[in-house]
Structure 1
Amino acid sequence: MIYETITLDIADDIATVTLRRPDVMNALNTQMRAEITHAVGNAGREARVVVLTGEGRAFCSGQDLGDRTNVGDINLERTLRDEYIPMLMAIVDCPVPTMSAVNGTAAGAGANLALAADVVIACHSASFIQAFSRIGLIPDAGGTYVLPRQIGMARAMGAALFADKITAEQAADWGMIWEAVPDAEFAGHWRGRAAHLAKGPTVAYAKVKEAMQASFGNTMAEQLKLEGKLQGDCGRTRDFKEGVMAFLEKRPARFEGR
């Protein structure tokens, strides 16, 4: 696929997907959703970490409301089913760690696109807005799933009903995102975090994702059983052997992702 609304750059085992519609604050249209889905799916096989970020002053302002001219003809259920679900599940099911580097406003579906990643890092000037109620909608793109689990029901309801701006620092304090960093340090910081993941034990990272995602539907006994299975898988990797040898030899581990 030739990308027109995003760029995909792969270097040093880091795949960076940059949303590139800065004139509309990187709003999501049909083409962009298809390109993100394709890029993340391919990058997950070619790199050891995938980063989503935006060009310009916004990460993503959500659905492009100008994408269709006649509001009465929009089938939102079909759009979510055919376009949003594949995009979001490409991120959730990506076999390597995913990161959102939120460089500015993340609103509506753009906020929930960011929150679909395994790790979210935002600059201090960034913000998250569940803007859906402003146009008579409910949070979608996974918002009603992710928010109660990350920040609790009270804050999730307030965010959805009032559509207030949540600053990056608030989001970090609430547990919505991993961390908020000063704007001047942001680019170097998220790239350093991505480089750390790219040099890590990729198989173990994939098993971490599998275990964490399963935990909400499991009993304690079921989760303990799953942990045992996944830990057994990790224990048979070359990276586990390397990690132990590096610890005993008091040197940094050189993980291969196998």
Structure 2
Amino acid sequence: MSFVETECRNGAIWLWLSRPDRHNALIPALIFDLRTAIAEAADKDPVALVLSGRGSSFSTGGDLGGFLDHARSQIELRAYADLLVGGLHDAILDLLAFPAPVMAAVNGPVTGGSTGLMLATDLVAIAETAFIQPYYSQVGFGPDGGWTALLPDRIGTSRALAIQYRNTRISAGEAVELGLAAALGPVPDLPATIDSWVEDLGKGYAQTHQVTRQNVWDVSRREEVRRRLDQEKTRFLDLIGRQGTLEGMKDFTRKRA
């Protein structure tokens, strides 16, 4: 069973993160399925690519249970973290290189590294009840998924740092004000909002939309993002093996339980 479901809708391809029992928390198998689905979608020349999540969350970032399951030794834990974070970063780069406009229907909370999947999209419709939050400082992780590689360019360095230092929760309305989302509304209305954007795209030349995106996310810019994501991963791996981080994961898991 795939952790990513594919749906063709009005010329767009929707990719649904489908691990709702775990709030679509990221594990290597989900990332593998996502990258496979992105590659298959690119071959079909859609009007747009749309990301969303099944259940009540878009994604709550890396599954702490997965990290703890591989914490029998530092070597095993680092290898697992390398696989997960490296795969997530590759998925973000896949989205940035996608040949058509990329959108997101953010149906619920977006936390941790999964925020990078949203940051790699062009247009976001967010549910009124959704929020964005880092949580890194509550666990002891280094930021991944573009929190330092992409977010400062979107909302400004000082604001991005303050959000992460204070573990600030960004509400859906604040996400629109910051330019992280273009529209908000009830969860049932998100598909219609995306459909209207896809319809607008269909009124213009697809070749123009493709070139516009390629100009913005050209090779040199994507390579700079890759470099900064690699830096995030290196520092994530540096911290994941520390005893304090292991205790932070266990403590955070107990509190959430």
1:179 is displaced (CA, Å) by 2.5
Unaligned runs of 5+ in 2: 222-257
RMSD in angstroms over aligned alpha carbons? 2.0
Q: Distance in 2 between the 1:216 and 1:144 partners? A: 18
Gaps of 5+ in 1: 218-258
Q: Which residue of 1 aligns with 2:70?
A: 70
Question: Hey, what's the Cα distance between the residues in 2 that align with 1:195 and 1:74?
Answer: 46
TM-aligned CA distance change 1:188 to 1:22, over 3 Å: same
Contact 1:129–1:164 (8 Å) recurs in 2: yes
Q: Is the 8 A contact 2:97 2:217 kept in 1?
A: no
In structure 1, give the amino acid aligned to 2:70: N
CA apart distance, 1:114 = 1.4
* Runs of 4+ with >6 A deviation: none
Q: Work out the CA distance in 1 between the residues paired with 2:215 and 2:142.
A: 29
Q: Secondary structure at the match of 1:7?
A: strand
Tell whether the 8 Å contact from 1:100 to 1:115 is kept in structure 2 after alignment.
no
Aligned ranges 1:107-256 → 2 under 5 Å: 107-183=111-187, 185-198=189-202, 200-214=204-218
Judged with a 3 Å threshold, the aligned counterparts in structure 2 of structure 1 residues 63 and 199 are, in CA distance, closer, same or farther, namely farther
The Cα shift of 1:216 comes to 9.3
State the alpha-carbon separation in 2 of the partners of residues 116 and 29 from structure 1: 19
For each residue in 1:213-235, what CA deviation from the matched residue of structure 2 results, as whole angstroms up to 9, or x when unmatched? 35996xxxxxxxxxxxxxxxxxx
In structure 2, do the counterparts of structure 1 residues 198 and 108 end up closer, same or farther at CA, with 3 Å as the change threshold? farther
- Taking structure 1 as the reference length, the TM-score comes to 0.76
TM-score when scaled to structure 2? 0.77
The alpha-carbon deviation at position 14 of structure 1 amounts to 0.9
Larger Rg: 1
Aligned-pair CA distance for 1:54 = 0.5
Number of aligned residue pairs: give it: 214
Which residue does 2:18 correspond to in 1?
20
1:115, 1:177 within 8 Å by CA — same for their partners in 2? Answer: no
1:41-95 per-residue CA deviation (whole Å, 9 max, x = no partner) reads 11122122110000111001111111241333322345433x1222111111000
Which residue of 81, 88, 93 maps to 1:89?
93
